[in-house]
Chain A
């Protein structure tokens, strides 16, 4: 009985779908892409139609670039069938392309054209582009300085944290001595050490490295420790009956079993070390993106600040993406991991 009614439903449903107008189908397939093209044309027009209220040199270039993006979106959508994977990728991202075009158009009109937003504080998009083209060397130097400082401190902190965590988790004697110290010092925000660190360390660079390492090391230590401590005894029993020596138990049982926890610690350490990096650069180190931000504020160069913020966000996001890529590689055996 029920199977009959099911097939009846299917049969009566089939002609209905085929009667859907072609227009509706076309809108569903290409609507977003065409809309994206329209949004970016609007951005181009808004750049070129009205006069700027201030003096910006990249307005014309931005307008042209907007038209080029609009054209690419349109051709990409119309010719999606011939573009294969690229067409698919564009189709998937078209709604975001619409949103971005609309946002930039509103931003452009509200700042450069009618100054609805108070001007020096809200620079138009072309002002930020101007920073990237005209102040590039200084910005790049800052990026490199930040990466160098962050990478050094993070690697030192992560290594020490990992080794400490394994030792505490494995040896009762080490735990007895290190655990109280960890409880006393760990929860203190690393930035609280800033004034002392800049006095006691020979250079601001070594002081900042120490602080970043400290901020990284604490979560890595605690999570590595908890990972090693939570390894099931059954694994050790199995390994021991198969002839494993203590070094094998640490290197081939405890550490791989603890690795998922370790990566949570590395992730948390990365987050808190970013905060320390920026503060350290703003206060002590005379280089890096934090310093660039501070410097831009001193000159009331607001466009430079936004430009530096965007770069900083890309760098932090990129660092986390890299960490997750490494984790996915090392922990392929885990099921159901979060995709970043």
Chain B
């Protein structure tokens, strides 16, 4: 009892990590020619913030996420998690991709257990897998295989697979992009609830201005490729937010203007 109460007390208040992106530039080599994708990007994220990265499609947002995850190394600049240089992937920074990319040969439970198994701590911490499945409401499907799940359920499993590691930074790469609009609205609310409960730092890549404004307390707008930070907007509104909120509508108008879409608005 005391132990669990203590664990609660430790995990609840802002478990998120700070993230510093310092003058990061990156480029791809395509047949010998260099294609710049990120140009001198500097962002400083506070522990526990929910930051949305918004920009035209193909501008290099997802590349930035791969750098933050440690999957790729930047050509120039530095990334730091809590003052520590990011050089490799680490389970404290987990990515949820646009495709759930569940392993089709593993059951739902085994998919969620992936991180703990890879770190060699599954045997002693099986309860965490059950808890993560409970968290996303998929405990009844623990023995199902991915091909038996709907798109929304699969993305929930992917979310549970990330959350089971108790990440300090949760990286979301358009995780709701391929879902139908109803599932999407439900999962947006679930995301906010999870973030408020767990307190991890959240980075969300999206190209949907409304989604960014409903979820995040900070929206960073990127330019076309090579991506530069165009605007850094605070969204000081309490949760749950309403899509019809005139304050958010005004922000949305400004953001679309920054993306060059004010004519169509």
CB of A218 to closest CB in B, whole Å? 26
On whether the beta carbons of A235 and B103 are closer than 8 Å, the reply is yes
On whether the beta carbons of B89 and A243 are closer than 8 Å, the reply is yes
On whether the beta carbons of A240 and B71 are closer than 8 Å, the reply is yes
Kindly state the separation between the CA atoms of A235 and B107 in the bound complex, as whole angstroms. Answer: 15
Contact pick for B118, options A239, A259, A333, CB 8 Å: A239
Contact pick for B94, options A241, A244, A334, A335, CB 8 Å: A241
Evaluate whether A241 and B95 lie within 8 angstroms (CB atoms) in the complex, with A248-B118, A252-B117 already known: yes
The 0/1 profile, CB within 8 Å of A marked 1, for residues 61-95 of chain B is 00000000111000000000000000001110111
On whether the beta carbons of B117 and A238 are closer than 8 Å, the reply is no
CB of A68 to closest CB in B, whole Å? 47
Kindly state the separation between the CA atoms of A259 and B103 in the bound complex, as whole angstroms. Answer: 13
On whether the beta carbons of A333 and B91 are closer than 8 Å, the reply is no
Residues of B within 8 A of A238 (CB): 95, 97, 101, 103, 114, 161
Kindly state the separation between the CA atoms of A252 and B117 in the bound complex, as whole angstroms. Answer: 10
Interface status of A245 (Cβ within 8 A of chain B): yes
On whether the beta carbons of A333 and B106 are closer than 8 Å, the reply is yes
Query: In the complex, which residue of chain B has the Cβ closest to the Cβ of A332?
Result: B145
Interface status of B115 (Cβ within 8 A of chain A): yes
On whether the beta carbons of A242 and B114 are closer than 8 Å, the reply is yes
On whether the beta carbons of A243 and B119 are closer than 8 Å, the reply is yes
Residues of A within 8 A of B58 (CB): none
Interface of B is mostly: loop
On whether the beta carbons of B69 and A241 are closer than 8 Å, the reply is yes
On whether the beta carbons of B114 and A239 are closer than 8 Å, the reply is yes
Interface status of A141 (Cβ within 8 A of chain B): no
Interface status of B130 (Cβ within 8 A of chain A): no
Evaluate whether A242 and B97 lie within 8 angstroms (CB atoms) in the complex, with A256-B103, A256-B105 already known: no
Interface status of A328 (Cβ within 8 A of chain B): no
Query: In the complex, which residue of chain A has the Cβ closest to the Cβ of B98?
Result: A234
On whether the beta carbons of A243 and B91 are closer than 8 Å, the reply is yes
Cβ < 8 Å to B, chain A residues 241-269:
241-245, 248, 252-253, 256-257, 259
On whether the beta carbons of B71 and A235 are closer than 8 Å, the reply is no
Q: How large is the interface on B (under 10, 10 to 19, 20 to 34, 35 or more residues)?
A: 20 to 34
Number of interface residues of A (CB under 8 A): 23
Interface status of B99 (Cβ within 8 A of chain A): yes
Residues of B within 8 A of A253 (CB): 103
Kindly state the separation between the CA atoms of A242 and B165 in the bound complex, as whole angstroms. Answer: 8
Kindly state the separation between the CA atoms of A235 and B93 in the bound complex, as whole angstroms. Answer: 17
On whether the beta carbons of A243 and B90 are closer than 8 Å, the reply is yes
Interface status of B260 (Cβ within 8 A of chain A): no
On whether the beta carbons of A241 and B101 are closer than 8 Å, the reply is no
Residues of B within 8 A of A331 (CB): 105
Kindly state the separation between the CA atoms of A333 and B165 in the bound complex, as whole angstroms. Answer: 25
Interface status of A237 (Cβ within 8 A of chain B): yes
On whether the beta carbons of B90 and A333 are closer than 8 Å, the reply is no
Residues of A within 8 A of B137 (CB): none
Residues of B within 8 A of A248 (CB): 117-118
Kindly state the separation between the CA atoms of A239 and B90 in the bound complex, as whole angstroms. Answer: 10
Residues of A within 8 A of B70 (CB): 241
The 0/1 profile, CB within 8 Å of A marked 1, for residues 109-144 of chain B is 000001101110000000000000000000000000
Kindly state the separation between the CA atoms of A238 and B117 in the bound complex, as whole angstroms. Answer: 13
Query: In the complex, which residue of chain B has the Cβ closest to the Cβ of A256?
Result: B105
On whether the beta carbons of A242 and B91 are closer than 8 Å, the reply is yes
A-B contacts besides A243-B89, A248-B118, A257-B105, 7 pairs, CB < 8 Å: A238-B114, A240-B71, A241-B94, A242-B114, A242-B165, A253-B103, A333-B147
Chain B positions near chain A (C-beta within 8 angstroms): 69-71, 89-91, 93-95, 97, 99, 101, 103-107, 114-115, 117-119, 145-147, 161, 165
Pairs across A and B, CB under 8 Å, 12 listed: A239-B118, A240-B71, A241-B71, A241-B94, A242-B94, A242-B118, A243-B118, A256-B106, A259-B105, A333-B105, A333-B107, A333-B147
Which are the 9 A-B pairs with shortest beta-carbon distances?
A242-B115, A244-B118, A243-B91, A240-B89, A243-B119, A256-B105, A234-B101, A241-B89, A333-B145
